[in-house]
Chains A and B, each alone.
Chain A
Amino acid sequence: MHIPDGFIDAPVSLAAGGVAIVGVGVALRKTREVLAEKEIALAGLTSAFIFAVQMLNFPVASGTSGHLMGGVLAAVLVGPWTGALCVTVVLVVQALVFADGGLSALGLNIVNMALVGALGGWVIFRGLRLLLPDNHAGVTIAAGVAAGLSVVLSSVAFALEYALGGTADLSLASVLTAMVGVHTLIGIGEGLITGLVVAAVLGARPDLVVGAADLALPQPLDRAAEVPT
């Protein structure tokens, strides 16, 4: 969903750049406050992994492909703010080194994929956690479903940006319908990949999954057993 130069006009691109700067600034502050030492390497690894998987376009429908966006995957692994930073780093490297995603659209892409994708997706993930059991399966399903929905949310963000500053005169309904339609399909792939990776990390190193940190707390039964009698 990398927006190239030329789709969205300068005022809306600039405004998105401002939002991106503020959002990334907050993410940097939050990361400084919360990031433990062992998570530094995981943050780098998460960013690198998302870059790699973003290269793997999978076919979704006739003549269309999609790839992982990674916002929810990053948020669940390293927390929403650091996760948003992970995706931002991927987007900056893609735009500056691989000419993927327009330079004038970098702010838009950070807003849609890093901020809406990771932060918006994290809110959906936390909501789903309330409905699902507090175990690895619950975390995995919440991550997968939130990841799928986050892609749709990002596609809605693009449609709104296009309505505000699109260089062609198209109705919001038309762009929105087309974007949500194809990104619902891509979201299924996003959900499956995110669920698989979260399940794999939970199996190997559950202590590293921020989205499952509450599961590491002693269960009420265990605590009862520790009470001296």
Chain B
Amino acid sequence: MTAPTPGPTPGHRRRGWWYLAAGLTVALALAFFVSPHASTQPDGLNKVAIDEGFAGDERTHALADTPTAGYGLGGVDGVDDEGLGTGLAGIIGVALTFGVMIGLVLLVRMGRGPGAESPDHGEPSRTAATAP
């Protein structure tokens, strides 16, 4: 993650961090508190597969035995409650997608090279200073 570097409009930048914190809080809250209450009915594709008679063609996922498979932490010590397991799986997933996406973007920006223009302020890319 980038450190808050002084920009041309410090107030604007502070608001930027505020939206990030708010957005992540909402995502984590949805993943932890709401996902245990989500519908467990088959989704649209699975329902069609059942109705059309090809649901039985599904093969067991190669990673079905891993602790986080199926958004649960069923086999993990201390997590007996199914809802808690789902919520914790949600937290792990939110943190992972956030980290992987930002890592991916920083990685492709490195490929842009130090001389490339950064479209946000027209300044040279700060990739070198912001890479982890």
Contact B31 A52 (CB under 8 A): yes
Q: Which of A43-51, A124-132, A133-141 contacts B (4 or more CB under 8 A)?
A: A43-51
Q: Which of A14-22, A142-150, A162-170, A219-227 contacts B (4 or more CB under 8 A)?
A: A162-170
Interface membership of B3, Cβ < 8 A = no
How far does the Cβ of A24 sit from chain B's closest Cβ, in whole Å?
Answer: 10
Alpha-carbon distance between A43 and B54 when the two chains are bound, in angstroms: 37
User: Would you give the 0/1 interface string for B6-21, flagging 1 where the beta carbon is closer than 8 Å to chain A?
Assistant: 0000000001100110
Which residues of chain B (76-132) have a CB below 8 Å from chain A? 86, 89-90, 92-102, 104-106, 108-109, 111-112, 118-121, 126, 130
The one of A49, A65, A96, A179 in contact with B41, judged by C-beta atoms closer than 8 angstroms, is A65
Complex: chain A residue closest to B30, CB-CB: A52
Which chain B residues lie closer than 8 Å to A44 at the CB level? Answer: 97-99, 101-102, 105
Alpha-carbon distance between A65 and B44 when the two chains are bound, in angstroms: 6
Q: How many Cβ-Cβ contacts under 8 Å join chain A to chain B?
A: 224
Which chain B residues lie closer than 8 Å to A39 at the CB level? Answer: 120
The one of A46, A168, A183 in contact with B53, judged by C-beta atoms closer than 8 angstroms, is A168
How far does the Cβ of A142 sit from chain B's closest Cβ, in whole Å?
Answer: 22
Alpha-carbon distance between A32 and B127 when the two chains are bound, in angstroms: 11
Which chain A residues lie closer than 8 Å to B112 at the CB level? Answer: 32-33
Contact A182 B59 (CB under 8 A): no
Complex: chain B residue closest to A1, CB-CB: B45
Which chain B residues lie closer than 8 Å to A174 at the CB level? Answer: 52
The secondary-structure label for the interface of chain A is: helix
How far does the Cβ of A100 sit from chain B's closest Cβ, in whole Å?
Answer: 7
Which chain A residues lie closer than 8 Å to B95 at the CB level? Answer: 48
User: Would you give the 0/1 interface string for B33-71, flagging 1 where the beta carbon is closer than 8 Å to chain A?
Assistant: 011001111111101110111100111111110101111
Complex: chain A residue closest to B112, CB-CB: A32
Contact A7 B58 (CB under 8 A): yes
* Given known A43-B105, A166-B54, contact A48–B98 (CB-CB < 8 A): yes
Alpha-carbon distance between A125 and B71 when the two chains are bound, in angstroms: 32
The one of B15, B43, B93, B98 in contact with A97, judged by C-beta atoms closer than 8 angstroms, is B93
How far does the Cβ of A192 sit from chain B's closest Cβ, in whole Å?
Answer: 15
Which chain A residues lie closer than 8 Å to B119 at the CB level? Answer: 34-36
How far does the Cβ of B59 sit from chain A's closest Cβ, in whole Å?
Answer: 4
Which chain A residues lie closer than 8 Å to B109 at the CB level? Answer: 32, 35, 40
Interface residues of A (CB under 8 A from B): 1-7, 28-29, 31-53, 55-60, 63-67, 82, 85-86, 89-90, 92-94, 96-100, 102-103, 155, 158, 166-168, 170, 174-175, 178-179, 182-183, 185-186, 204-205, 208
Would you mind naming 7 contact pairs between A and B with Cβ atoms under 8 Å apart? A40-B109, A47-B97, A47-B100, A55-B30, A55-B86, A56-B30, A82-B105
Q: Which 6 A-B pairs have the closest CB atoms?
A: A36-B120, A99-B69, A65-B39, A6-B59, A47-B101, A48-B98
